[in-house]
Amino acid sequence: MDKIVPISSTVHAGKKLLPLSSFAFAAKSNLVPVVASEFAAAARVFPLVFHKPKDEVGVFSLLGLLNQTNLFVDTNGRWLADYIPATFRRYPFVIAKAPEKENGEDKFILCIDESSGLLSDEKGVPLFDDKGEANKLLKNAMAFVTEYQRGAAASEAFCQEMERLELLSPLKIGFKNNQNKDINMEGLLHIDEKKLNALDDEQFAALRKKGFLPMVYAHLISLANIASLIQRMKAPVVKPAPAPESSVPISFNF
């Protein structure tokens, strides 16, 4: 179970971060949030879909066609695609909203998942120096999650605009599983091109001015990846080779 706690020079003094050696933590994530700054890169590999699990719609990379199934993580925890979503790359760091506001705006706190198995007293890269100041790794992590939060805010604004313009329609994904049984995936949304093309010149220009058009087209182009996702699911199960000794380098870049 996740144990998300704020990063503290007192609590985590002397703690070190081990390299990420497995994506097993993501093996049951068939949907992962996409932030605005990674739309183009993610769209090359995954279908980008809209989903409204609660009150607000969001954009997600679709990683599997069945609940709790990520087709891009093998049984050894290795990542099987050229692109790793930013949500996974920031792990074990998480950003949380502080209970109090700052100058009337939301304030965010850098946290870490202490149950990740990546914190160590002996090996790894120190989080803090001898003076209790954030080390380079931790500073990079802070910068990354700050940029991530900006991208998440831009993605949220984009989704709100798609809803306001009533451009979203149900996305129907139907396929046969390996037992030749018909499966229909429901609950996802996509931008309806007919509705998009029906916008007047002023509405379309407003999308361009807000910087939303590249996100619209990245989403539409990414839907072609649904076919490859279905093929990936139906591919013969091959026993993976033993996991390599090397780990995923610690990197916080979009």
Alpha carbon of 198 to those of 49, 165, 202, 243: distances in Å? 21, 11, 11, 51
Give 131-151 pLDDT, tens digit per residue.
Answer: 999 999 999 998 998 899 899
Mean pLDDT value across the chain: 89
Per domain, the residue ranges of the chain are: 18-114+137-233
pLDDT tens readout for residues 195-242: 999 999 999 999 999 999 999 999 999 999 999 999 998 875 554 545
Nearest to 117 by CA among 19, 28, 245: 19
Winning range, highest mean pLDDT, from 3-7, 219-223, 243-247 = 219-223
Structure tokens at 224: 């072609």
Spatial distance between the Cα atoms of 133 and 9, rounded to a whole number of angstroms = 7
Whole-angstrom Cα Rg for the chain: 20
Neighbouring residues of 128: CB distance < 8 A, sequence distance ≥ 6: 9, 12, 13, 14, 15, 134, 135, 138
